[in-house]
Homo-oligomer: A and B are copies of this chain.
Amino acid sequence: MDKKQRIILTMLELVVEQGVNATPMSQVAKDANVAVGTIYHYFENKNQIIEEIYSMISKDFGVVLMANLPEGSFKEKYQAMWLNLYNYFVGNPLAFKFMEFVGVPPIINQEIRQRAVKHFANVRDFMLAGILNKDLRNVDLRLLMQISFGTAVSAVRLKSKNELPMTEKQLQDAVDIAWDSVKYKPV
């Protein structure tokens, strides 16, 4: 693995455990087995590494969410997407913790956040189509997206804190809840 990659991964690991400020560059250098100066060869400064991690995960994210959606009803597609999100975070606990505790203001600023939004364009389109086709509730799109994201994160959180084992059954419950919260409701 090349040095830049090693630096990024080391920073991710340490920062998730200790927080950005409790992670000195010297420790990153040591753990990544490079000289301190080398880090500055690849990155402008400490925060740029954090931002690069944030962008990396955000980008992953947009791709993973819409991957391998099944042919079939909108409901099936939605649930698959929800599970993609759930599985990604459960499978990448570092990414999850990073987004929860590190990838927030004021560490990550408005500008960087905005730039990440574009990765979600396809998710947005998918949800919008759902509303228009009366598969989803006729409420504001952003509310629907935020809620969907929220239910998945709630499930991941319980799992990652070991508050719930998330058995097959429990996961199914969570998916059901998520779907019931957004599915079309006649007036």
The interface of chain A, by Cβ under 8 A from chain B, is: 17-22, 100-101, 104-107, 137, 139-140, 142-143, 146-147, 149-151, 153-155, 157-158, 163-164, 170, 173-174, 176-178, 180-182, 185
CB distance from A160 to the nearest CB of B (A): 11
Closest to A97 in B: B105
- Determine how many copies of this chain the complex contains: 4
CB contact between A142 and one of B146, B164, B180 (< 8 Å): that residue: B164
Give the one of A154, A170, A185 with max B CB within 10 A: A154
Residues of B within 8 A of A157 (CB): 146
Tell me, in angstroms, the Cα distance from A106 to B163 when the chains sit together: 18
Chain B residues near A185 (CB-CB < 8 A): 176, 180
| Identity of the chain B residue whose Cβ is nearest the Cβ of A152 in the assembled complex | B150
From A18, A146, A173, residue with most partner B Cβ within 10 Å: A146
How many angstroms between the C-alpha atoms of A177 and B177 in the bound complex?
Answer: 10
Docked Cα-Cα span, A32 to B86, in Å, equals: 44
A150-B154, A154-B150 known; A173 and B143 CB under 8 Å?
Answer: yes
Do the beta carbons of B106 and A137 come within 8 Å of each other?
Answer: no
Using Cβ atoms and an 8 Å threshold, which residues of chain B touch A153? Answer: 150
